[in-house]
Structure 1
Amino acid sequence: MKTLGYYNGKYGELEEMSIPMNDRVCWFGDGVYDAGPSRNYKIFAIDEHIDRFFNSAGLLDIEMPVTKEELKELLQEMVNKMDTGNLFVYYQVTRGTGVRDHAYTKGPGNLWIMLKPAEISDGIEPIKLITVEDTRFLHCNIKTLNLIPSCVATEKAKKAGCQEAVFYRAGGRVTECAHSNVHIIKDGKLVTAPTDNLILPGIARAHLIRMCKKLGVPVSETPYTLKELFEAEEVLVTSSSNLCLHACEIDGKPVGGKNPELLEKIRSALLGEFYEATPEE
């Protein structure tokens, strides 16, 4: 199959799928999601993603309709049905189905899955960024479906000819991007925002931190500012869809390019880890 969808036991091509109007996602965006890449029919870092998915659901008191192992088996089963093994594997759970009511709908949630062809960028070509004030709520550590601010920021970036938007809070603290984590290289060390309630604890972020430590690159999980972002030796952008990108421009001003050897060392190591975990059979 070229694309594949799933909703509470029903399968089909994405354009064939339909969702009940009373699913709480329609009224409130009431749910959480997770996603990651598959290569050669192997889902990368699947256990880490599923753990985060269940944690997000638990923080919102959403009852999961499957166990972690059942979800893992279902995702792999669906990946195996696809025409290509290089995919974006997305899954979400909504609180349930019921007539619109702000009070929680009781019972297990509704499970959605979406698969579509996708490739991971090798991260060689630099990207351009813009900055946008972070006006989101204070639960950014939960991967909820309420993504309007991120959609608006992404559209602003697109209209500016850029690939991503960097959020900052009052006072100039950099948090994350619209759909990625953002980090800097400063004085030869990796500086990345701490995993408090203002950022999502990215899986690719975790892999970046572990890889830097493995390579002997010091890591500082501390807040940093817009000023430090613009003055950084390198600016890195990571997500499960693009494991290690780097920026050459922010708000039309050149950035980075001051430590290309270290950047390449980190980029190639992360891509190598991904390729090693998803070999062709």
Structure 2
Amino acid sequence: MKTLGYYNGKFGELDEMSIPMNDRVCWFGDGVYDAGLSRNYKIFALNEHIDRLFNSAGLLDIKVPVTKAELADLLQEMVNKMDTGNLFVYYQVTRGTGMRNHVFPEGKANLWIMLKPAEIADGTKPIKLITAEDTRFFHCNIKTLNLIPSVMAAEKAKRAGAEECVFYRPGKRVTECAHSNCHIIKDGKLITAPTDNLILPGIVRAHLIKACKKLEIPVSETPYTLDEMFDADEVLVTSSSKLCMYANELDGKPVGGKAPELLEKIRKEIMDEFMTATN
């Protein structure tokens, strides 16, 4: 199959799938999601993504209708049905189905899955970034379906000819990007925002930290500002769909480019791990 969807036990091509209008996602965006890459029919870091999905659901009192093992088996079963093994694998759980009412409905949560072809960039080409004030709520650590601020920021970046938008809070503290984590390298050290309630604890962010520790590069999980990002030796962007990228422009001004050898060591370590895991 070229694309594949799943909804509560029903399978089909994405353009053939339908859902009840009373699914809570329609009225409230009431749900959580996770996603990652598959290569050669092998899903990268699957257990880590599933753990994060269950954690997000638990923080919103949503009971996932399958076990972690059942979800992993279902995702792999669906990947195996595809024409290509290089895929974007997306899954979400919504609170359930019922007449529009702010209080929780009775019954089980709904499970959605979406698979589509995707090729991974190797991270060797720089990307452009813009900035925007972070106007999201204070539960960014939960991977919810309420993504309007991120949608608007992503569109703003596209119109500016950039690939991502960096969010900042009062005091110009950098949090993360519209759909990525961001980090800086300064004086041989990786600096990344702490995993508090203002950022999503990215799976590739965790692999980035592991890679740096393996390479004996110091890691500081501390807040940093836009000024520090502009002054950084390198600017990195990580996500489950793009793995590890680097930026050479921020709001139209050049950034990074001062530690290319260190940057390449990190990029190569992450890509090597991905390639090995999905061979």
* Native 8 Å contact 1:184 1:234 kept in 2: yes
The aligned counterpart of 2:16 is: 16
Alignment-mate amino acid for residue 167 of structure 2? F
- My pick for the range that moved more, 256-265 or 106-115, is 106-115
Q: Quote the Cα distance in structure 2 between the aligned partners of 1:199 and 1:85.
A: 31
How far did residue 254 of structure 1 move? 0.2
Residue pairs, 1:240-279, within 5 angstroms = 240-279=240-279
Q: Quote the Cα distance in structure 2 between the aligned partners of 1:141 and 1:17.
A: 30
Alignment-mate amino acid for residue 23 of structure 2? D
How far did residue 107 of structure 1 move? 2.5
2:118 matched to 1:107? no
Alignment-mate amino acid for residue 63 of structure 1? K
Q: Quote the Cα distance in structure 2 between the aligned partners of 1:63 and 1:217.
A: 40
Residue pairs, 1:7-86, within 5 angstroms = 7-86=7-86
Q: Quote the Cα distance in structure 2 between the aligned partners of 1:108 and 1:224.
A: 42
Q: Quote the Cα distance in structure 2 between the aligned partners of 1:214 and 1:268.
A: 12
SS of equivalent residue, structure 1 residue 244: strand
Q: Quote the Cα distance in structure 1 between the aligned partners of 2:6 and 2:188.
A: 45
How far did residue 97 of structure 1 move? 0.2
Residue pairs, 1:1-281, within 5 angstroms = 1-279=1-279
SS of equivalent residue, structure 1 residue 183: strand
Q: Quote the Cα distance in structure 2 between the aligned partners of 1:73 and 1:2.
A: 20
Alignment-mate amino acid for residue 17 of structure 1? M
How far did residue 133 of structure 1 move? 0.3
Partner deviation per Cα, 1:47-102 (whole Å, 9 max, x = no partner): 00000000000000001110000000000000000000000000000000000000
* Native 8 Å contact 1:62 1:108 kept in 2: no
TM-score (norm 2): 1.00
Alignment-mate amino acid for residue 137 of structure 1? F
Percent of paired sites with the same residue: 79
Unaligned runs of 5+ in 1: none
Q: Quote the Cα distance in structure 2 between the aligned partners of 1:64 and 1:183.
A: 32
TM-score (norm 1): 0.99
Q: Quote the Cα distance in structure 2 between the aligned partners of 1:45 and 1:253.
A: 35
How far did residue 108 of structure 1 move? 1.9
Q: Quote the Cα distance in structure 2 between the aligned partners of 1:104 and 1:195.
A: 29
Q: Quote the Cα distance in structure 2 between the aligned partners of 1:264 and 1:79.
A: 31
Q: Quote the Cα distance in structure 1 between the aligned partners of 2:170 and 2:78.
A: 44
* Native 8 Å contact 1:63 1:107 kept in 2: no
* Native 8 Å contact 1:121 1:242 kept in 2: yes
Partner deviation per Cα, 1:1-49 (whole Å, 9 max, x = no partner): 0000000000000000001000000000000000000000000000000
SS of equivalent residue, structure 2 residue 142: coil
Q: Quote the Cα distance in structure 2 between the aligned partners of 1:61 and 1:109.
A: 11
Q: Quote the Cα distance in structure 2 between the aligned partners of 1:43 and 1:106.
A: 33
* Native 8 Å contact 1:38 1:44 kept in 2: yes
* Native 8 Å contact 1:88 1:241 kept in 2: yes
SS of equivalent residue, structure 1 residue 171: helix
How far did residue 153 of structure 1 move? 0.2
Q: Quote the Cα distance in structure 1 between the aligned partners of 2:231 and 2:129.
A: 14
How far did residue 106 of structure 1 move? 2.4
SS of equivalent residue, structure 2 residue 84: coil
Two-structure CA RMSD over aligned residues (Å): 0.4
Q: Quote the Cα distance in structure 1 between the aligned partners of 2:109 and 2:121.
A: 34
How far did residue 105 of structure 1 move? 1.2
* Native 8 Å contact 1:182 1:236 kept in 2: yes
Q: Quote the Cα distance in structure 1 between the aligned partners of 2:269 and 2:32.
A: 31
